[in-house]
């Protein structure tokens, strides 16, 4: 408990801080092609996330070899935790109940603390083969998939699902949520937009509130939470105390501190130090040739909060040499010191 002396005035702000410190869970969102093992390590090293969910493992009509699970989630080799000890849960995407179940069992055998199922992916190729958000058109199919996975995975492991509010429209948002609950899911994360709405603001947090009122499993709110104020507004609109954070963790890397402590973004100097940690990892792990693309991808997010990131992005945009980029970063670091 935070000490509150008799002389303290318990303002609304301090009351909300108490609430946020003790009851709120913050989960690092799955982000295919961005939120890999290295980013999870960096971000959980400077934040207090309660859980990470991996990029999705695509399941078709086969039991995948172990190496696929280890590639998406190298943390399986270290107790399914990031270096700083945050648990990492594997996410599966697919439409065959039978093979989703088989692969889910394999994932938990390899150490994943539960399974998350992706019903939100908007990618054309994925939807064409009946995976991701397209399944939101058919609550019975959602039910069959979740039920098969739940029945197959030992009861001590959570089976969770992540949805959007619908495919083209929101007509089935409650039916879908109920189907997932009835199939035995342990929790439901909701990205508060339809597939058609893509990533266009706003996120419709009030719909998450309606879901929460209609089902009895924990609901996690997701979408457009960029800072402390957004977190508060989202919690008010949805009634959820569990939030999932995606892009904001790349734009302002100290996002959980911002939300939990109501602070601002970390300094650009500290961001540069994080970038150098990523460079170091990429060089050591044989990913040096991919480093420029990866760094530009991250800067593309960072420049939404840091003008310095915009400037750095412009200077390295056409550069393909990791060493040259590294020199530029060191110069910026010296300038920012
Ligand atoms: C580049 C990118 C990749 C994503 N990959 C996944 C994924 O693999 N699985 C998933 O369930 N959601 C995925 N999402 C959706 C995010 O988890 C999240 O629901 C969405 O970005 C909204 O949250 P935000 O506003 O906090 O970013 C992805 C989003 C982005 C931008």
- The pLDDT of residue 165 is 98
CATH topology of domain 12-261: TIM Barrel (3.20.20)
Tell me, in angstroms, the distance from the centre of ligand 1 to residue 222's CA. Answer: 9
pTM of the model: 0.94
Architecture of domain 268-336: Up-down Bundle (1.20)
Ligand 1: centre distance to CA 321 (Å): 29
Distance (Å) from CA 29 to ligand 1 centroid: 6
Provide the pLDDT for residue 23: 84
Ranges in the chain, pLDDT < 50? 1-15, 18
Per-residue pLDDT tens over the stretch 115-145 = 999 999 999 999 888 899 999 999 999 999 9
Q: Would you state the pLDDT for residue 70?
A: 98
pLDDT of residue 2: 33
Residue nearest to atom 22 of ligand 1 (CA): 223
Task: Based on the residue annotation, tell me whether 73 is a catalytic residue of this protein.
Answer: no
Answer whether 12-261 and 268-336 agree in fold. Answer: no
| Catalytic residue chosen out of the listed positions 52, 73, 121, 234 | 121
Given ligand 1 and candidates 51, 246, 248, 300, which is best to mutate, with the most ligand atoms within 8 Å of its CB?
246
Q: What is the pLDDT of residues 236-247, one digit of tens each?
A: 999 999 999 999
| Ligand 1 pocket residues where CB is under 6 Å | 29-34, 55-56, 91, 118, 120-121, 162, 191, 222-225, 245-248
Residue 146 CA to ligand 1 centre (angstroms): 20
| CA dist., res. 323 & res. 91, Å (int) | 35
pLDDT value at residue 129: 86
Pocket probe for ligand 1: among 29, 58, 240, the residue whose CB has the most ligand atoms within 8 Å is 29
Q: What is the pLDDT of residue 66?
A: 98
Task: Write down the domain spans for the chain.
Answer: 12-261, 268-336
Amino acid 317: pLDDT: 95
Q: What's the CA-to-centroid distance between 188 and ligand 1, angstroms?
A: 15
Nearest CA to ligand 1 atom 21: 246
- Condensed to tens digits (0 to 9), the pLDDT of residues 67-98 reads 999 999 999 999 999 999 999 999 999 999 99
């Amino acid at each position: 408990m935070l000490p509150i002396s008799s002389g303290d005035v318990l303002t609304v702000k301090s009351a909300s801080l108490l609430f946020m410190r003790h009851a709120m869970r913050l989960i690092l969102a799955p982000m295919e092609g961005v939120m890999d093992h290295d980013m999870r390590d960096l971000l959980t090293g400077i934040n207090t996330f309660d859980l990470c969910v991996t990029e999705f493992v695509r399941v078709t009509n086969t039991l995948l070899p172990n190496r696929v699970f280890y590639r998406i989630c190298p943390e399986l080799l270290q107790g399914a935790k990031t270096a700083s000890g945050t648990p990492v849960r594997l996410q599966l995407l697919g439409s065959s109940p039978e093979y989703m179940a088989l692969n889910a069992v394999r994932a938990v055998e390899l150490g994943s603390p539960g399974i998350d199922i992706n019903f939100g992916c908007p990618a054309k190729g994925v939807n064409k083969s009946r995976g991701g958000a397209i399944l939101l058109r058919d609550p019975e199919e959602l039910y069959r998939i979740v039920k098969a996975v739940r029945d197959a995975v030992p009861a001590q492991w959570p089976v969770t699902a992540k949805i959007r509010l619908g495919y083209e429209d929101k007509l089935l948002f409650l039916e879908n949520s109920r189907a997932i609950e009835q199939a035995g899911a342990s929790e439901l994360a909701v990205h508060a937009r339809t597939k058609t709405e893509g990533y266009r603001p706003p996120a419709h947090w009030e719909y998450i509130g309606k879901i929460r009122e209609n089902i009895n499993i924990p609901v996690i709110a997701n979408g457009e939470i960029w800072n402390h104020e957004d977190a508060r507004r989202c919690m008010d609109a949805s009634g959820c105390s569990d939030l999932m954070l995606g892009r904001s963790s790349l734009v302002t890397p100290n996002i959980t501190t911002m939300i939990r402590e109501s602070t601002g973004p970390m300094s650009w100097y500290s961001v540069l130090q994080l970038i150098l940690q990523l460079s170091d990892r990429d060089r050591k792990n044989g990913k040096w040739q991919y480093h420029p693309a990866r760094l530009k991808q991250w800067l593309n997010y960072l420049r939404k909060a840091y003008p310095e990131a915009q400037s750095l992005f412009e200077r390295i945009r056409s550069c393909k040499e990791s060493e040259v980029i590294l020199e530029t970063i060191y110069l910026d670091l010296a300038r920012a010191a």
